Structure 1
Amino acid sequence: MAASTIGLLHPGRMGSAIAAQLIAGGHQVLWCPAGRSAGTARRAAETGLTAVETVPRLLDRSAVVFSICPPAAAEEVAEDIGDYSGIYVEANAISPQRMIAIADRLRATVVDGSIIGPPPDEHSTARVYLSGPENAVERVRGLLTAGNAEPVPLANRVGAASALKMAYGSFQKTSRALAAVSHAIAGDYGVGEHLLREAAAFDGNALADPDGLPSTAARAWRWAPEMLEVAETARELGLPDALATASAEVLSRWADDKDDFDLDLPTTLRHLHRE
């Protein structure tokens, strides 16, 4: 693909890493330093971004604009682009509902993007999932042909890439929060070494092997009360108990599947939805 001029709103750690991949592909990446911190300016300079005076100037010169910012700022950043009519890659970790609402408000052609993995560099690879209008998705995919940001086109549907990010993040982030509470409980009672030994013997990754979930549903009637006991333990130690009570709520959705070890996976997942 011929070299393009691309705008970036605004260069944080992940945004700068994606920009570096675009620059490696021969593209020019613009950013606007107005109102940004010295740390951001340093990062932009190290990455090789080209500074422009204002966001409108950035938009005038950019065929494609990437928004990669903290989730809470997604709408505010989108509002900055006004009547921009190019391709706007909304690549923040936001819900499909917020993604669609942002797309509906903009004149730009919106590509829904989600980035999974560490900031890409010579040692690390990230996947950049893309969904939305096919021609726009293909244009963005073609920009990411160099470096370690791997573009992955999805369905022709705004919201699909964001849904994947939410599904992955739900497990990735929550599992670490759960691990922190588990180690805190064990540490308070002086049994941390034993927890580590049991963890090392633990077999299975439910995200990578969902075929084990029907068995979970069949046993959930026993596990839900156990999670309430975990919640009580956490509360008594001054630890957060919401994750344990939320797990009990999830498990309670399978109450009618008690000891039904003939469940299939689609039925198991369907029973999680409220009727």
Structure 2
Amino acid sequence: MDQPTVGILHPGSMGAAVAACAATNAAAVFWCTSGRSPASAARAKQSGLTPVSTLAELLDRSDIVISLCPPAAAEDLAHAVAGHRFEGVYVEANAINPERALRIAALLEPDATVVDGGVVGSPPVGAKTPSLYLSGPAAATARIEALFAGTAVRTAVLGAEIGKASALKLAYASFQKTSRVLVALAVGMAREHGVDQELVDIASRRTDSYLAEPEYVSKTAARAWRWGPELEEAADALAAAGLPPEMLRAAASTLARWKDAKDDRELTLTDALDRLAQP
């Protein structure tokens, strides 16, 4: 099979790292500079991506397009792509609920072939090896598997049904991210009464307890701007399945208290808990 050309929308921390892995088996990986920040440009350059000035040029030159953006922007981005009648493979890899994945597929087909994707894990840098779960037409998912063969992005095909990959991603994220929110609340309550170290000591007697890792609270705060919308998507998926969404909506509301901590790597546990205690 010939090496495909690939477009990434857009090179955030996950998108740039995934695109860099795709470059291993691609003839070229393009990104669109229009409206993007200096930080995006720096990530794209570091990842060896080829800049183009417009979305139209990126779509014209790409056989495969991978969409990795904040959940709220996923459908607007798909609408923009549909307006150019893109005819390649479109990988909808955002953390969105299955109903939205189906809407995007309906929007882009029959011009494009849509593959539903869900990334589980951290960006593929250093020793990190996230999994990209795929569902959609067999020929298209096979092309994506080949694109990432031998890279730090591991692929797994779940079948031909659009929505399966999105559902798996959100099912995992709903547990993992809500668990971290519960840790923050438990440690915050204990700290208020001066027993936070005792709480950690109790948790440390159990194996694999998130509660034994209070230092992760600051990382949760820095990622809250991404995690909150993901949990809202997961809550929508629960509601669509007839399951109660209130717990995940509450976790998303808690994360919203950290909206000003976006990507703050200097944030300490004390700072994070102080911000959490302020409505």
Pair in the same fold by TM > 0.5: yes
Shift of 1:6: 0.5
Alignment of 1:21-170 (within 5 A): 21-82=21-82, 83-107=85-109, 108-170=112-174
The one-letter code sitting in structure 2 at the alignment partner of 1:98 is R
2:11 is matched with: 11
1:211-231 alpha-carbon deviations (Å, 9 max, x no partner) = xxxxxxxxxxxxxxxxxxxxx
Counterparts of 1:244 and 1:195 in 2: how far apart (Å)? 24
1:188 is matched with: 192
The one-letter code sitting in structure 1 at the alignment partner of 2:29 is V
1:135-194 alpha-carbon deviations (Å, 9 max, x no partner) = 111111110013200011112100000000110000110000000000000000111121
1:176 is matched with: 180
Shift of 1:245: 11
Q: TM-score, normalised by structure 2?
A: 0.72
Counterparts of 2:116 and 2:193 in 1: how far apart (Å)? 46
2:258 is matched with: none
Change (3 A) 1:193 1:128: same
Question: Do the aligned partners of 1:14 and 1:68 also contact (CA within 8 Å) in 2?
Answer: yes
Question: Do the aligned partners of 2:178 and 2:248 also contact (CA within 8 Å) in 1?
Answer: no
Counterparts of 2:140 and 2:26 in 1: how far apart (Å)? 19
Counterparts of 1:244 and 1:15 in 2: how far apart (Å)? 25
Counterparts of 1:69 and 1:5 in 2: how far apart (Å)? 20
Shift of 1:45: 0.9
Counterparts of 1:178 and 1:54 in 2: how far apart (Å)? 43
2:232 is matched with: none
How many aligned residue pairs are there? 212
Change (3 A) 1:38 1:77: same
| Structure 2 unpaired stretches of 5+ | 210-245, 252-279
Counterparts of 1:103 and 1:245 in 2: how far apart (Å)? 26
Q: CA RMSD in A?
A: 2.1
Shift of 1:244: 10
Change (3 A) 1:200 1:157: same
Answer with 1 or 2: which has the greater Rg.
Answer: 1
Alignment counterpart, residue 206 of structure 2, candidates 202, 205, 215: 202
Counterparts of 1:110 and 1:244 in 2: how far apart (Å)? 28
Counterparts of 1:128 and 1:34 in 2: how far apart (Å)? 27
Counterparts of 1:10 and 1:245 in 2: how far apart (Å)? 27
Question: Do the aligned partners of 1:59 and 1:84 also contact (CA within 8 Å) in 2?
Answer: yes
User: What secondary structure does 1:139 align onto?
Assistant: helix
Question: Do the aligned partners of 2:5 and 2:26 also contact (CA within 8 Å) in 1?
Answer: no
User: What secondary structure does 1:80 align onto?
Assistant: helix
The one-letter code sitting in structure 2 at the alignment partner of 1:90 is E
| Structure 1 unpaired stretches of 5+ | 206-241, 248-275
Counterparts of 1:130 and 1:124 in 2: how far apart (Å)? 19
Q: TM-score, normalised by structure 1?
A: 0.73
Question: Do the aligned partners of 1:122 and 1:148 also contact (CA within 8 Å) in 2?
Answer: no
Alignment of 1:253-268 (within 5 A): none
1:2 is matched with: 2
Question: Do the aligned partners of 1:66 and 1:91 also contact (CA within 8 Å) in 2?
Answer: yes
Change (3 A) 1:186 1:115: same
The one-letter code sitting in structure 1 at the alignment partner of 2:137 is P
Question: Do the aligned partners of 1:122 and 1:147 also contact (CA within 8 Å) in 2?
Answer: no
Identity %: 45
Counterparts of 1:63 and 1:153 in 2: how far apart (Å)? 20
Counterparts of 2:177 and 2:28 in 1: how far apart (Å)? 34
Change (3 A) 1:5 1:244: closer
Question: Do the aligned partners of 2:174 and 2:248 also contact (CA within 8 Å) in 1?
Answer: no
User: What secondary structure does 1:114 align onto?
Assistant: strand
